[in-house]
């Protein structure tokens, strides 16, 4: 059967993609942040998955404010990088895995989660920046990717508990797929940041790291964090962190043995543009 063996968590700040594309990664401002992913790039080479299930949010690119699905799974054979106003990022197109994506959609819907099935869409920095951080600048991404878009842009957005439970359903779906595949699940977005209003530029280092501690050690309690806590403590865009709980809910320790995962890497940096950057790798023992 297929199996989820690791989860990756990372911010997806658009300015990070611009820094990569414009060759600024060794500049003094950016170098400390990119050094935090040196371990991760080697880990990816040493632990290359067969498929990445990548949870992210679309930034009014594939879905306009006219139609915003709460959860949308990409089932296409390929996904083209989107033009977000400055031309598409110069990165490879994303190759999908239609068979596994369709199987996950069927299984998760039968577990009473309503998903939107997307057979054609472009993918923006929410998906491509994490791939760049973990994989560098290859001619092709190292494996197929299943995009899974979550609405954290327009309220109402899903609760952390809903996302955590969805992660459990995704793990069950993957494990019922009749092919020997090594799957990694990624949760992206966050950490604390606010892009507008009187608190624009807000970064809360203490809250971010306390949230990370709890997500690792007591994810069930972390999933109960209400939206107002994210907004008050981590800014209006800090609610993106609920997407990390989808990946966390899909890990083996949630399904049984509490000692079955290991923290392989943890990194935190401020600022990147006007955002806190968080990064974590959890792997089955």
Give catalytic status of residue 125 as yes or no. Answer: yes
In Å, how far are 56, 64, 67, 215, 281 from 14, measured between CA atoms?
A: 13, 18, 23, 24, 21
Give catalytic status of residue 193 as yes or no. Answer: yes
Exactly one of 125, 184, 269, 279 is catalytic; which is it?
125
Exactly one of 12, 103, 193, 269 is catalytic; which is it?
193
Q: Which residue has the tokens 């306390």?
A: 210
Catalytic site residues? 125, 193
């Amino acid at each position: 059967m297929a199996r989820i063996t690791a989860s990756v968590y990372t911010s997806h700040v658009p300015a990070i993609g611009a820094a990569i594309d414009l060759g600024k990664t060794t500049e003094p401002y950016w170098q400390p942040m990119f050094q935090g992913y040196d371990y991760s790039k080697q880990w990816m080479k040493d632990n290359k998955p067969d498929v990445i299930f990548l949870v992210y949010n679309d930034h009014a690119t594939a879905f306009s404010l006219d139609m915003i699905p709460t959860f949308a799974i990409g089932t296409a054979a390929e996904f083209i990088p989107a033009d977000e106003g400055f031309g598409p990022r110069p990165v490879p197109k994303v190759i999908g895995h239609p068979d596994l994506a369709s199987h996950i959609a069927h299984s998760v819907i039968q577990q009473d989660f309503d998903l939107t099935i997307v057979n054609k869409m472009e993918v923006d920095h929410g998906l491509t920046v994490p791939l760049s951080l973990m994989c560098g600048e290859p001619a092709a991404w190292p494996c197929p990717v299943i995009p899974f878009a979550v609405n954290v842009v327009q309220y109402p957005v899903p609760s952390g508990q809903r996302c955590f439970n969805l992660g459990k359903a995704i793990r069950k779906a993957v494990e019922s797929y009749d092919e020997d595949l090594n799957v990694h699940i990624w949760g992206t977005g966050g950490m604390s940041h606010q892009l507008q209003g009187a608190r624009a530029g807000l970064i809360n280092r203490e809250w971010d790291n306390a949230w990370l501690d709890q997500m690792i050690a007591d994810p069930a309690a972390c999933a109960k964090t209400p939206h107002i806590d994210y907004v008050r403590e981590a800014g209006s865009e800090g609610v993106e962190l609920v997407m990390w709980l989808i990946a966390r809910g899909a890990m083996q320790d949630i399904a049984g043995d509490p000692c079955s995962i290991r923290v392989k890497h943890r990194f935190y940096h401020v600022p990147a543009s006007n955002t806190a950057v968080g990064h974590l790798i959890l792997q089955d023992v």
